[in-house]
C-alpha cells in the first residue's frame, strides 16, 4: 500500500477518516477505528489524534448490532463526501442489502480516489457497491462461502487476516480490523509510530496480512508451549545470526516441531516471522536517523545493504532512501508526523 506523501507543514489538515455506521453495525469494529484513528496519542507525546476521525450514519438514530444501543448525534452520510479514507465496518445480517445511499457513498468515495477499507463482513457492502469486481478481498471465514456465491466476480482470499489491494483494503474479522488498522498506521506514519500505538493497545504491532485468520489452538495437555518467551528472546537478538535451527534448539524442540508451533500459534513460519521482525527493526532504525545502510542491515540482522533494499521494498514498496524521505527525522517536532499523511491519499 505504498503512497506518495508530501512533507508535513504547519496548518495542513490531517488525513480524514470517515466510518460509515449502518443499521446493525458491530460496535467493536467502530471502537477499533476510534481507538487507532480517532484518539489522542499521549504515548507519542501528542495531545491530538494522528488522523481526523468522523462517524457518519444513514439517519438520525441508528440501531447497533442486536439493539445493544442506538447511535445518535453524529453527522449524516454527507460526511463521506470529504473522506480521505472511508471505512465500512461489518454487521451480522449480510443477507439484507445495504441501503442504496450507503452504496452510493462508497462508489463516490472510490471514484474520487479515497482509500476504502472494510472490517469483517463490511466487505459485503463493498462488493454490493461493485467496486470489488475483479479485485482481491477477504472477509470473515464463516461468511466466505456465502460471499463467493453472491459475488463470484470478486477474487476472495478467505484464509488471510487482511488483503491490501492498493486503494481497497479488507480485514477478515473483528480482531483482524486491528491488524489492518495498525498496518495502515504503519504505512502512513512508519514502524515507530505503529509500534507505539500497538504497545498502548497491548497488541501485536505487525502481523503479516497473509497469516491465517482461523487457527486451531488446543489447550496444552502437558506443558505450556507458548512461543512468547522464544519470541521475546529473539527480538532482543535480531542482529545476531539467528536461524530456524537455532531457535528450535533454544526452545528445546526439533525444527519440524517449531515450524508446527509457529503455524498453529502465529499462522506463519519461523523464517517469515524472523524476517518480518528484522525488516521492522530496520525501518525503526531508519526512522531514528541512521543513514548508513550497512549499519542498518547489520543491526537488524538483514546482513547486507542489498538484502536490506530488497526486503524493505518488498515489505513497504519503498527503497531505503524513499522510506527515509517519508518517515525520517527531518521534522523534529512530533506533531509534524500527524500532518505527514494528510495528503497522502488526496487525489
66 and 145 both lie in a single domain:
yes
Is the Cβ–Cβ distance between 102 and 59 less than 8 Å? no
139 and 262 both lie in a single domain:
no
Q: Report how far residue 329's alpha carbon sits from residue 192's, in angstroms, rounded to the nearest whole number.
A: 11
pLDDT at 2: 41
pLDDT at 225: 67
pLDDT at 320: 92
Domain-located, residue 332: no
117 and 69 both lie in a single domain:
yes
20 and 106 both lie in a single domain:
yes
User: Where residue 244 sits, what CATH number does that domain have?
Assistant: 1.10.10.60
- Cell of residue 316, nine digits: 513497504
pLDDT at 159: 85
* Contact partners, residue 167, CB within 8 Å, separation at least 6: 110, 113, 114, 115, 116, 345
Within a 13 Å sphere around the CA of 285, how many CA atoms are in the beta-carbon half?
A: 24
Domain-located, residue 192: yes
Domain-located, residue 214: no
pLDDT at 173: 82
88 and 146 both lie in a single domain:
yes
105 and 171 both lie in a single domain:
yes
Q: How many domains does the chain have?
A: 2
Rg, C-alpha atoms of the chain:
21
Q: What are 124's strand-pairing partners?
A: none
Domain-located, residue 86: yes
186 and 60 both lie in a single domain:
yes
302 and 238 both lie in a single domain:
yes
Domain-located, residue 102: yes
Task: Record the pTM.
Answer: 0.74
Residues of the domain holding 36: 16-201
Length of the chain: 347
Q: Quickly tell me which residue has 480482531 as its cell.
A: 175
**Three-state DSSP state, 117:** strand
Would you write out the chain's pLDDT as a tens digit for each of its 347 residues?
544 433 333 445 789 999 999 999 999 999 999 999 999 888 888 888 999 999 999 889 999 988 889 999 999 999 999 999 999 999 988 888 899 999 999 999 999 999 999 999 999 999 999 999 999 999 998 999 999 999 999 999 988 889 999 999 999 987 889 999 999 999 999 888 888 888 888 775 555 555 544 443 333 343 446 888 999 899 999 999 999 999 999 999 999 999 999 988 888 899 999 999 999 999 999 988 998 999 999 999 999 999 999 999 988 888 999 999 888 875 434 434 443 433 333 33
138 and 178 both lie in a single domain:
yes
User: Where residue 48 sits, what CATH number does that domain have?
Assistant: 3.40.50.880
Is the Cβ–Cβ distance between 3 and 344 less than 8 Å? yes
62 and 196 both lie in a single domain:
yes
57 and 172 both lie in a single domain:
yes
82 and 129 both lie in a single domain:
yes
Amino acid at each position: 500500500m505504498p503512497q506518495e506523501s508530501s512533507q508535513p507543514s504547519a496548518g495542513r489538515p490531517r488525513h480524514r477518516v470517515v466510518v460509515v455506521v449502518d443499521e446493525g453495525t458491530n460496535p467493536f469494529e467502530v471502537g477499533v477505528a476510534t481507538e487507532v484513528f480517532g484518539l489522542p496519542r499521549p504515548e507519542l507525546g501528542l495531545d491530538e489524534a494522528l488522523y481526523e476521525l468522523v462517524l457518519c450514519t444513514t439517519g438520525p438514530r441508528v440501531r447497533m448490532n442486536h439493539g445493544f444501543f442506538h447511535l445518535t448525534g453524529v453527522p449524516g452520510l454527507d460526511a463521506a463526501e470529504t473522506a480521505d479514507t472511508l471505512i465500512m465496518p461489518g454487521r451480522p445480517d449480510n443477507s439484507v442489502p445495504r441501503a442504496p445511499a450507503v452504496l452510493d457513498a462508497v462508489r463516490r468515495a472510490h471514484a474520487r480516489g479515497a482509500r476504502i477499507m472494510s472490517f469483517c463482513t463490511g466487505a459485503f457492502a463493498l462488493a454490493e457497491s461493485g467496486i470489488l469486481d475483479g479485485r482481491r478481498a477477504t472477509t470473515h471465514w464463516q461468511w466466505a462461502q456465502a460471499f463467493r456465491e453472491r459475488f463470484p466476480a470478486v477474487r476472495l482470499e478467505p484464509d488471510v487476516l487482511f488483503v491490501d489491494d492498493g486503494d481497497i483494503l479488507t480485514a477478515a474479522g473483528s480482531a483482524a480490523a486491528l491488524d489492518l488498522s495498525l498496518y495502515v498506521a504503519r504505512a502512513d506514519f512508519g514502524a515507530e509510530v505503529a509500534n507505539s500505538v500497538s504497545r498502548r493497545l497491548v497488541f501485536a504491532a505487525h502481523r503479516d496480512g497473509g497469516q491465517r485468520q482461523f487457527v486451531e489452538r488446543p489447550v496444552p495437555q502437558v506443558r505450556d508451549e507458548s512461543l512468547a518467551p522464544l519470541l521475546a528472546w529473539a527480538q532482543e537478538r535480531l542482529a545476531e545470526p539467528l536461524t530456524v535451527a537455532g531457535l528450535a534448539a533454544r526452545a528445546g524442540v526439533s525444527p519440524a516441531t517449531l515450524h508446527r508451533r509457529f503455524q498453529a500459534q502465529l499462522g506463519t513460519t519461523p523464517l517469515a516471522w524472523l524476517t518480518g521482525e528484522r525488516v521492522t527493526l530496520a525501518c525503526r532504525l531508519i526512522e531514528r536517523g541512521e543513514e548508513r545502510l550497512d549499519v542498518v542491515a547489520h543491526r537488524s540482522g538483514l546482513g547486507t545493504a542489498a538484502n536490506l533494499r530488497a526486503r524493505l521494498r518488498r515489505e513497504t514498496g519503498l527503497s531505503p532512501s524513499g522510506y527515509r524521505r517519508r518517515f525520517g527525522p527531518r521534522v523534529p517536532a512530533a506533531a509534524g508526523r500527524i500532518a505527514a499523511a494528510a495528503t497522502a491519499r488526496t487525489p
